[in-house]
Amino acid sequence: MTGWNEKILDVDLTTQTYKTYPLDMEMARLFIGGRGLGARLLWDLVGPEVDPLSPENVLIFTNGPLTATGYQTSNRFSVTTKSPLTGTVLDANSGGFWGMQFKKAGYDVMIVRGKAEKPVWIEIKNDVITFHDASDLWGMRVFALTEKLGQNNNKRNVLCIGPAGENLSRIASIMNDRERALARGGPGAVMGSKNLKAIVVEGKDRTQIDDPERFKFLLYETRKLLAASPLTSQALPEFGTVVLMNIMNNIGALATRNHQQTQFEGAEAISGEELTEKYLVKNSSCWACPIGCTRISKTEKVEGEGPEFESTWAFGAQCGIDDLPAIIEANSLCNDLGLDTISAGSTIACGMELSEKGYMDADLRFGRADQLAPVLEAMAYRRDIGSDLADGSLRLATKYGHPELSMSAKGMEMPAYDPRGMQGQGLLYATSNRGGCHMRGNMVGPEVLGLPKLIDRFQVQGKSSFVILHQNVSAAIDSLVVCKFTNMGVADEYFARVLSSVTGIHYDTGEMTRVGERVWNLERLYNLREGFSMKDDTLPPRLLNEAPADGPSQGWVVQLEPMLKEYYRGRVWDENGIPKKQKLEELGLASLI
Amino acid sequence: MPLVKLYANLRNIAGTKELSITGASLGQALSELVRQCPALDGLILENGQIRPHFVITINGLNAIDLDAVVTEQDMIAIFPPIAGGQSNPHPLPLSLWESGTPFPHRGKGWG
């Protein structure tokens, strides 16, 4: 079959052995790749008895049938595991080059099991898999390690953890290609728990395409569509994702000082316009990406990729900090240490509120840019106060008796969009299968930017249908795997056509969305099996009970209950949020329970 | 007079971040804005309507009605999508993609 390599690499670190076997192609047809395939495999491999940081947990690296074909943004890949931060199913995906190289090495999936007795790193050169002693690499930071292991963007690509992953921080990321991140939910801690420092890949295979002529045409058409869209051809390349800072602040939906306010007086100083004018060196892009949203920024101390909007917000508005160089440096430091920027920034903000209110004996204060770098260092190495912050805001706030001050959903820190000013975003956070996240669907399109059409962001009734659609489409795109930004210029139907041309299997738009719905329901089943229930489909009390005192969102809290009821009905789940048998049968999931 | 704030590339085009203008409605304010900043002509309005994907707010609330009343105390914010967009006149050959060659970024507005 074309598109897929039809091969799984299964590595056991305990015995330092590996085997390869065929990918179940019926499973591949139903779940495609990336996030969907990862979730399906995790269902079989990791049950509720498994501690996320035990050898029995697995890391499942997946690419998709489009990966490395040259289709626009076909560089991405996923890691799936049970999250040590949330205890839920976790998928994180990343761009850059590693995913393309992994596909070229001849595999669709790599499962990593067990735990090495001593630190190791793995080298993959197609069929040759080598386990190397990593004792002398343990302790190295990401940038130096990536260079030492021979990163070469088109030939040899490095994926690794930094000190945060080694020290089992539950907000540790896995980094690839130096500054790209499988960031959220703590996959770096799972890798650290296995004593696995790095995976280096060199590949030489070409992905076979079923209908090359049709594929070329769609490639050409997609290029035209991306070029014709002002968002993908100009907004993202010119200002990057940080262009959202001013607009979110203007409408009163920019979470500020641990969500105590919804507008930040220093937003202009940390905006995309400011970043572009004063600190942008040049743009960069992932493999096969014509959008090129990556920023290369430079301060007196650092030069590197980013920061993205969410990272700028996390260390900026959320911490009450308007010092853009300090934010750029905090972002770079997180990449070097292997920390998730969103969770790190929001956890520091939580610490600042706990400290200012006298609940925690520390001198953390909102607005103190000078505290960012030392606190991040302390978190990665679990030193002093950092040991309290290293496991995310919910564990921190719980330890000090105020779990309500963690701005998280299911234990994962929410990103920048304050849902009191975007009701649909609130429902999205509450129902996200991996916790507070803007990548499981994002209502900023319809509720703020008018994409594809502007809807009332304060409207409650009827909002769930938009959320469900966005979640399903998001799960489908994550399973292809391509970058969600392409969807700003290219309609879903194109993805179905491209997938058909590559695999030779007919997918239409409806089937693509159904794949997303199947993935979403499977993830829900996984979380239910782990003991999660409708009581976990909620938000911090602050967002449900404390209305902003001023600004455009003044007087609004998230009206979650009516939206949630409507959402369950729309998903064909019962009143307790459990998928009904008829829905599971329709999606081909009934046999799993 | 209402205050108009411009964002992203509108600032470079207009040569300013903000300005005070006259006008009793959003439509009148936008017309006055174009009169004061002729470089914005055709960018914000098209056939008498706000161009697609432009976000305009009055005091932070989305405004789509050009007849919306504005007063001296109001703040109008204009966010472009960014304006324009064009098809790429010189597509790269497929062989370049397949060879793994990184996309040669061409700076602002690659298309």
* DSSP labels, A374-408: HHHHHHHHT-TTHHHHTT-HHHHHHHTT-GGG--E
Contacts of A243 in chain B (CB under 8 A): 7-8
Contact B85/A239, CB-based, under 8 Å? no
Contact B7/A153, CB-based, under 8 Å? no
Give the model confidence (pLDDT) of A57-99 as tens digits: 999 999 999 999 999 999 999 999 999 999 999 999 999 999 9
pLDDT at residue A232, rounded to an integer? 87
pLDDT at residue B94, rounded to an integer? 36
Domains, chain A, ordered by start: 7-202 (3.60.9.10), 242-413 (1.10.569.10), 419-592 (1.10.599.10)
B16-B20-B23 Cα angle (round to 5) = 130
Residues 11-40 of B with CB under 8 A from A: 11
Quickly state the pLDDT bin for A449 (edges 50, 70, 90): confident
Helices A423-431 and A463-480 pack at an angle, to 10 degrees, of 50
Integer CA distances (angstroms), A130 to A28, A123, A134, B83, B109, in order: 27, 5, 12, 51, 43
φ/ψ of residue A553, rounded to 5: -100, 15
CB B57 within 8 A of CB A250: yes
- SS3 state of residue A43: helix
φ/ψ of residue A101, rounded to 5: -65, -40
**pTM (whole model) above 0.80:** yes
Comparing C-alpha atoms, which of A255, A250, A267 is closest to residue A551? A250
Over residues A342-358, mean pLDDT: 98
What residues are paired with A280 via a beta bridge?
A297
Over residues A435-451, mean pLDDT: 91
Comparing C-alpha atoms, which of A530, A510, A528 is closest to residue A568? A528
Q: Classify the complex by whether its ipTM is higher than 0.90, answering yes or no.
A: yes
CB B32 within 8 A of CB B21: yes
Give the model confidence (pLDDT) of B60-86 as tens digits: 999 989 999 999 999 999 999 853 333
pLDDT at residue A237, rounded to an integer? 86
- Sequence-distant (6+) residues with CB within 8 A of A73 are A95, A286, A288, A289, A291, A482, A483, A485, A486
Q: Tokens 């392409």 — which residue?
A: A486
Cα–Cα distance for residue pair A309/A249, rounded to 1 Å: 12
Output the six-digit token pair for A89. 């199913």
- Sequence-distant (6+) residues with CB within 8 A of A561 are none
Cα–Cα distance for residue pair A327/A486, rounded to 1 Å: 27
- Sequence-distant (6+) residues with CB within 8 A of A78 are A34, A35, A38, A60, A61, A62, A63, A91, A92, A93, A94, A182, A478, A481
B84 in contact with chain A, both atoms CB, cutoff 8 A? yes
| pLDDT > 80? residue A188 | yes
Give the model confidence (pLDDT) of A227-248 as tens digits: 988 888 888 888 888 999 999 9
Cα–Cα distance for residue pair A226/B69, rounded to 1 Å: 37
Q: How many distinct helices (H) and strands (E) make up chain A? A: 25, 17
Give the model confidence (pLDDT) of A23-50 as tens digits: 999 999 999 999 999 999 999 999 999 9
Q: Which of B50, B59, B97, B99 to mutate to test the interface with A (most CBs of A within 10 A)?
A: B97
Output the six-digit token pair for B20. 């005070």
Nearest Cβ partner for B62 among A70, A229, A454: A454
Contact B9/A238, CB-based, under 8 Å? yes
Quickly state the pLDDT bin for A453 (edges 50, 70, 90): confident
